[in-house]
């Protein structure tokens, strides 16, 4: 039993390292050797879990989808202003990572699309799920679905600008102002 847990832990360690490398260096700029090194495992161990780069990319997408589902499940019992308040707390809790890595879902999706990778469609679906959840929450405030798109685009733009500038505070301040405009709370 402990052996299976160790294997799952090692696999998760590799996927986490891959996601970080993909988000900082891009999928195209990341080799399996880079991932093995970042995970602190021999390259042979990486091949034990992932036979190809595509297998690793799919595992990274699984992890992204799982992360989104965890966030959405935590927000599910809430509605409208409560949902958005908790959403902004989640965004603000990751403002340092935003400056370093960008959106946890959009960064990988953008890279895969740019590469013409076969997994780009799956990545785009994860982003669509995220966007639709945000649209629904904004609609619950009595605003249009398009207003939800505006919020989504503002968040994504803030991710990009804070990453390019390396300014975590910029992302945080932008999210606080957006939250105030939507909810009237600082």
pLDDT digits (tens, 9 = 90+) for 17-60: 999 999 888 899 999 999 999 999 999 999 999 999 899 999 99
Whole-number pLDDT of residue 167: 86
Distance CA 77, CA 128 (A): 21
Q: If you count DSSP H runs as helices and E runs as strands, how many of each does the chain have, helices first?
A: 10, 0
pLDDT at 2 over 70: no
Enter the tokens of residue 31. 């080799």
CA distance 158 to 76: 24
Helix (H, G, I), strand (E, B) or coil at 151: helix
**Single pTM value for the model:** 0.87
Q: What is the pLDDT of residue 168?
A: 83
Domains of the chain, each with CATH number or no CATH: 2-183 (1.10.357.10)
- Angle between helices 80-93 and 53-75 in degrees, nearest 10: 140
Can you tell me the distance from the alpha carbon of 73 to that of 66, in angstroms, rounded to the nearest whole number?
Answer: 10
User: Per-residue pLDDT tens for 110-137?
Assistant: 989 999 989 999 999 999 999 999 999 9
- Integer-rounded Cα radius of gyration of the chain: 18
Q: Are the beta carbons of 87 and 134 closer than 8 angstroms?
A: yes
């Amino acid at each position: 039993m402990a052996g299976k847990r160790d294997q799952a832990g090692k696999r998760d360690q590799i996927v986490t390292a891959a996601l970080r490398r993909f988000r900082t260096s891009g999928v195209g700029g990341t080799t399996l050797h880079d991932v093995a090194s970042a995970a602190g495992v021999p390259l042979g161990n990486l091949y034990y879990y992932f036979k190809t780069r595509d297998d690793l990319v799919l595992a990274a997408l699984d992890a992204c989808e799982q992360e989104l589902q965890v966030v959405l499940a935590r927000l599910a019992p809430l509605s409208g202003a409560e949902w958005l308040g908790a959403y902004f707390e989640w965004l603000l809790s990751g403002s340092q990572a935003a400056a370093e890595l960008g959106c946890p879902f959009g960064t990988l999706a953008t890279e895969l699309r740019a590469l013409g990778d076969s997994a780009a469609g799956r990545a785009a679906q994860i982003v669509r799920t995220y966007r639709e959840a945000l649209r629904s929450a904004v609609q619950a405030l009595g605003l249009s679905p398009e207003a939800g798109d505006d919020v989504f685009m503002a968040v994504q733009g803030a991710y990009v600008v804070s990453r390019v500038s390396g300014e975590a505070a910029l992302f945080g301040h932008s999210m606080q102002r957006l939250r105030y405009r939507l909810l009237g709370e600082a």
